[in-house]
Amino acid sequence: MPISELKLAKELIRKPSITPRDAGAINLLAKNLRSLGFKCKIINFKNIKNLYAKLGSSTPNFCYAGHTDVVPPGKISDWSVNPFKPVIKNNKLIGRGANDMKASIACFVSAVSRFKNQNKRFKGSISLLITGDEEGIAVNGTKRVIEYLKKKKERINFCLVGEPTNPNKLGEMIKIGRRGSMTGRLRIIGSQGHVAYPHRANNPSNTMIKILKRLKELRLDKGTKSFQPSNLEITKINIDNHADNVIPGTADAVFNIRFNDKHSASSLKKKLNTIIRSVSKRNRCKFKVQYEVSGEAFLTKPNKITYMTQDIIKKITGIKPKLSTTGGTSDARFIRNIAPCLEFGLVGKTMHKVDESVSVSDLKKLTKIYQNILVSYFK
């Protein structure tokens, strides 16, 4: 009997795996995969539970990647249902993780069960790389599992990431790359003093304002054929000053850059540091800046698997999906270091929102899409 995508999706949603908690989600998934003949390896890094499951031992190895952790539900009273007691209303499955991305995982597992029933002797392997650390800081999740697989000399030939890629309708969009992401944490150091005697102090907030103005005026690029323009956004400004009549000694700000393949994190650091250093020096202030790079920009050039996936999606949904690099980051930024990646999943319209939901009919279609991709891949 094939595994029901709806039943498994409900079971996964019932596990309140708010990042970085697992709450039994990985074990539940492993139990279902073992029933299909998968060998499951649960890999723990610190307090994070990850899973690498594999069916078969020959090449090529087709991998599906995803995450079982979810974002917090917010105020439970704002939901029409308990976020961890899934309910179907108006043909929609409602619950935290319904589209990001427990139901997508359930669809792939169901697709594998159906594929396996009809293709008992397929040549190759099917694997799943599932983490409990995607919605959080993503340090002990997919990134560490990739390092583990490299050490074990485990090869993945192709990876399908099941993130919710479609803006409004199933079939609209395949992700073939992502912009890079870098966060800068800037501190300007002046000298504290009394507001009545500004000449005896050096207000770092004035320097910070000038620097942030320069950073916002930066025209990084106009975009490329495959990517939208890079953008820098200021996300925090903080002056830790509890007295109204004191000029502060320090000022802090945080900014984030989403950058395309015209840049690297290294080239952007040089550009930003030049501005920060120049303005700070001119205003007789010191500075400290720390950068956190969560991923470089990457692009999987369209190939026969891309076009095969496009054709299958169009056949089942009636929509030819656009090949896109829009949106935020995903774990594809780590996986692309060992295998070519595509991303295709459910409709992300309600992800991270109150009453997160997914169409039940979309679940059936996505299962069929994933099954057909497996059939075509292993032909």
Q: Which structure tokens are listed for 173?
A: 């969009």
Kindly report each contact of residues 277-285 with a partner whose C-beta sits within 8 Å and lies 24 or more positions away, as own/partner: 279/207, 279/210, 279/211, 279/214, 280/188, 280/207, 280/211, 283/202, 283/206, 283/207, 283/210, 284/202, 285/188, 285/189, 285/190, 285/202, 285/204, 285/207
Which amino acid type is present at position 334?
A: F
- Pairing relationship of beta strands 231-238 and 357-359 according to DSSP bridges: unpaired
- Pairing relationship of beta strands 231-238 and 180-189 according to DSSP bridges: unpaired
Cα–Cα dist 275/272, whole Å: 5
Distance in Å from the first CA to the final CA of the chain: 23
Annotated catalytic residue: which of 11, 22, 133, 134? Answer: 134
Cα–Cα dist 309/22, whole Å: 32
Annotated catalytic residue: which of 5, 11, 22, 69? Answer: 69
Determine whether 134 is an active site residue: yes
Q: Count of CB atoms within 10 A of residue 325's CB?
A: 19
Residues with a catalytic annotation lie at 69, 134
